[in-house]
């Protein structure tokens, strides 16, 4: 029972750690309104649609759409990708139809609700967006992303008390959710609950000092409390960050080419299509799509990682491993790519490579939990006592940086493996407290207390 639990939770934990890690990276660059979008959901600039080169790229995208929808018409992932492509090329109504088709095929396909909520938000229909995000929360109750998006549209719709309730409930389960905490600080400030607003804003600042809106909350709430010197410092920091954001935005506007952005979007679409074909075992088609993606996204590690996976599936293990080593070196400062490399190395039994890449991830992001969590999970596969203790240390570090249920479950697993039953039980109790709906935690606790 314990072994199955270890393997299952470790896999889930790694995925959640990756997501949480990426959210922390992104929030340093923009606030909640732009946090959870991606290049495929950014609408094309109207003026670019008349450009002959843009039309040429769109024709290639349309050909890809026909290919995947003909091959896999009953897979919601197909229509999710189709929706993303339509949205990126400025065809919002077609995108909406695609995501509705996702949900017709699978009403529990959470990404469909997410994308439809995004479109409704873009259209200014916050009530409709809230309904979609509520559905997303029901389908995926363990996500910290969807409650944050729901709270954002509730706030934009003037429903501050409900937004507050949603965020407080989210933070009970995900105390490390920086985006949710930053938004809660803003909501509380608008409700004139300045003490609580200041508390949550300061919690965010401890994680990242690059979220301008949090300093605005501090400036307003501190001023209302009569703490003028502190308010002035916060306002100064807010103005500095806003100036930097505006300069960066102006620079991007000058440098960004709508045509190049469209090519990049097409490249990402090829990657998405390759994943779908690969999932059905059609490796030749996946390889061909990846070749197209690589030409368009030459600075992106994702198609290379997928290429390595395909080589391994096709029996070329040595070539796949060499490519994985090369990716780890080429993208040694890219956390998401490194995590993907480390996870593949773990799956292939290449423990030393996985450990080396996980250690590199900690080196470049020492204040983020993902690297520590990965090494802790990796230690569960090693029978030696030395690795068991090192894994427990990493798990404790991950839980300190991100005190969520998954990390405490990881501490419990590592402590149990190290023979520290007291710590294991205490950590699992905390995991159950943070996630009371998780039946695995409760069942395992009962078994451990019997031992």
Q: Are residues 221 and 90 in the same domain?
A: yes
Q: What is the CATH number of the domain that holds 123?
A: 1.25.40.10
- The model's confidence at residue 38, banded by pLDDT at 50, 70 and 90, is very low
For residue 374, CA distances in Å to 11, 20, 158, 269, 342 come to: 10, 13, 41, 29, 8
Burial grade of 91 (CB within 10 A; 0-12, 13-18, 19 or more) = buried
pLDDT reading at 219 higher than 80 = yes
Burial grade of 376 (CB within 10 A; 0-12, 13-18, 19 or more) = buried
Structural domain includes residue 217: yes
| Contact in structure between 74 and 87 (CB atoms under 8 Å) | no
Structural domain includes residue 174: yes
Number of residues written out for the chain: 451
Kindly state the tokens that stand for 178. 């920086």
pTM of the predicted protein model? 0.78
**Using CA atoms, how far apart are residues 428 and 5, in angstroms rounded to an integer?**
12
287 secondary structure, DSSP code: H
Q: Are residues 132 and 188 in the same domain?
A: yes
Q: Are residues 15 and 124 in the same domain?
A: no
Structural domain includes residue 439: yes
Question: Inter-axis angle of helices 405-418 and 421-434, to 10 degrees?
Answer: 160
Of 217, 207, 209, the closest CA to residue 176 belongs to: 207
Q: Which residue has better confidence, 204 or 15? A: 204
Q: Are residues 24 and 117 in the same domain?
A: no
User: Across the chain, which distance is largest between two alpha carbons, in Å?
Assistant: 71
> Average pLDDT over the chain, rounded to whole?
85
Of 177, 173, 180, the closest CA to residue 154 belongs to: 180
Choose one of 239, 254, 272: the last residue of a domain: 239
Structural domain includes residue 188: yes
pLDDT attached to residue 7:
40
Structural domain includes residue 249: no
Q: Are residues 79 and 226 in the same domain?
A: yes
**Using CA atoms, how far apart are residues 45 and 88, in angstroms rounded to an integer?**
10
Structural domain includes residue 279: no
CA torsion, points 287, 289, 292, 293, in degrees to nearest 10? -100
**Which SS3 state, helix, strand or coil, does residue 90 take?**
coil
| Domain region containing 5 | 1-30+367-451
Structural domain includes residue 13: yes
Q: Are residues 190 and 74 in the same domain?
A: yes
451 secondary structure, DSSP code: -
Which conformational region is residue 249 in: left (phi greater than 0), alpha (psi within -120 to 50 degrees), or beta? Answer: alpha
Choose one of 196, 212, 239: the last residue of a domain: 239
Choose one of 239, 274, 294: the last residue of a domain: 239
Kindly state the tokens that stand for 20. 């949480």
pLDDT attached to residue 74:
95
pLDDT reading at 3 higher than 70 = no
pLDDT reading at 19 higher than 70 = no
Structural domain includes residue 133: yes
DSSP H helix total and E strand total for the chain: 23, 0
Q: What is the CATH number of the domain that holds 442?
A: 1.25.40
pLDDT reading at 433 higher than 60 = yes
pLDDT reading at 451 higher than 80 = no
Q: Are residues 11 and 47 in the same domain?
A: no
Could you report the per-residue pLDDT of 96-138, keeping only the tens digit for each?
999 999 999 999 999 999 999 999 999 999 999 999 999 999 9
What is the distance of C-alpha 45 from the center of its chain? 26
- The model's confidence at residue 255, banded by pLDDT at 50, 70 and 90, is low
**For tokens 């993303």, what's the residue?**
84
Q: Are residues 5 and 154 in the same domain?
A: no
| 272-277 contacts, C-beta under 8 A, 24 or more apart | 272/81, 272/84, 273/64, 273/67, 273/68, 273/81, 274/303, 274/306, 275/77, 275/306, 276/68, 276/72, 276/75, 276/77, 276/78, 276/81, 277/68, 277/71
- Which range (7-11, 23-27, 152-156) has the least confidence? 23-27
Q: Are residues 17 and 78 in the same domain?
A: no
Q: Are residues 23 and 68 in the same domain?
A: no
- The model's confidence at residue 442, banded by pLDDT at 50, 70 and 90, is confident
Residue 290 CB: number of other CB atoms within 10 A? Answer: 24
Overall number of domains in the chain: 2
Q: Are residues 10 and 75 in the same domain?
A: no
Q: Are residues 75 and 151 in the same domain?
A: yes
| Contact in structure between 197 and 188 (CB atoms under 8 Å) | yes
């Amino acid at each position: 029972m314990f072994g199955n639990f270890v393997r299952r939770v470790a896999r889930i934990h790694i995925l959640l750690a990756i997501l949480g890690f990426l959210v922390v990276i992104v929030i340093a660059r923009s606030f909640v309104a732009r946090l959870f979008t991606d290049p495929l959901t950014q609408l094309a600039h109207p003026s670019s649609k008349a450009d002959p080169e843009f039309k040429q790229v769109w024709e290639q995208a349309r050909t890809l759409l026909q290919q995947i929808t003909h091959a896999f018409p009953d897979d919601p992932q197909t229509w999710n990708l189709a929706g993303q492509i339509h949205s990126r090329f400025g065809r919002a109504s077609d995108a909406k139809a695609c995501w509705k088709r996702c949900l017709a095929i699978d009403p529990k396909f959470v990404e469909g609700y997410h994308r439809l909520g995004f479109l409704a938000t873009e259209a200014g229909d916050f009530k409709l967006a809230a309904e979609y995000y509520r559905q997303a929360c029901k389908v995926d109750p363990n996500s910290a992303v969807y409650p944050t998006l729901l709270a954002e549209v509730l706030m934009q719709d003037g429903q501050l008390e409900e937004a507050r309730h949603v965020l407080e409930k989210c933070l009970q389960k995900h105390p490390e959710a920086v985006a949710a905490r930053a938004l809660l600080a803003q909501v509380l400030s608008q409700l004139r609950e300045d003490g609580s607003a200041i508390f949550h804003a300061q919690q965010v600042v401890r994680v990242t000092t690059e979220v301008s809106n949090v300093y605005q909350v501090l400036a307003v709430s501190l001023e209302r409390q009569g703490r003028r010197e502190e308010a002035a410092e916060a306002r100064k920091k807010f103005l500095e960050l806003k100036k930097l954001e505006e300069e960066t935005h102006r620079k991007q506007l000058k440098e960004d080419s709508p045509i190049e952005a469209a090519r990049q979007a097409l490249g990402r679409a090829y990657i998405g299509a390759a994943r779908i074909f690969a999932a059905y075992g059609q490796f030749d088609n996946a390889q061909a799509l990846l070749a197209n993606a690589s030409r368009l996204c030459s600075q992106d590690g994702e198609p290379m990682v997928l290429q390595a996976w395909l080589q391994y599936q096709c029996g070329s293990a040595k070539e796949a491993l060499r490519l994985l080593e090369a990716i780890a070196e080429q993208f040694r400062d890219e956390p998401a790519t490194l995590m993907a490399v480390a996870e593949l190395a773990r799956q292939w039994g290449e423990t030393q490579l996985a450990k080396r890449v996980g250690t590199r991830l900690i080196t470049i992001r020492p204040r983020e939990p993902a690297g520590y969590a990965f090494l802790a999970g990796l230690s569960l596969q090693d029978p030696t006592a030395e690795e068991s203790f090192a894994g427990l240390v990493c798990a404790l570090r991950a839980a300190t940086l991100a005190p969520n249920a998954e990390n405490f479950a990881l501490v419990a697993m590592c402590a149990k493996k190290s023979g520290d039953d007291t710590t294991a039980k205490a950590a699992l109790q905390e995991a159950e407290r943070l996630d009371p709906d998780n039946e695995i935690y409760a069942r395992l606790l009962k078994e451990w207390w019997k031992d």
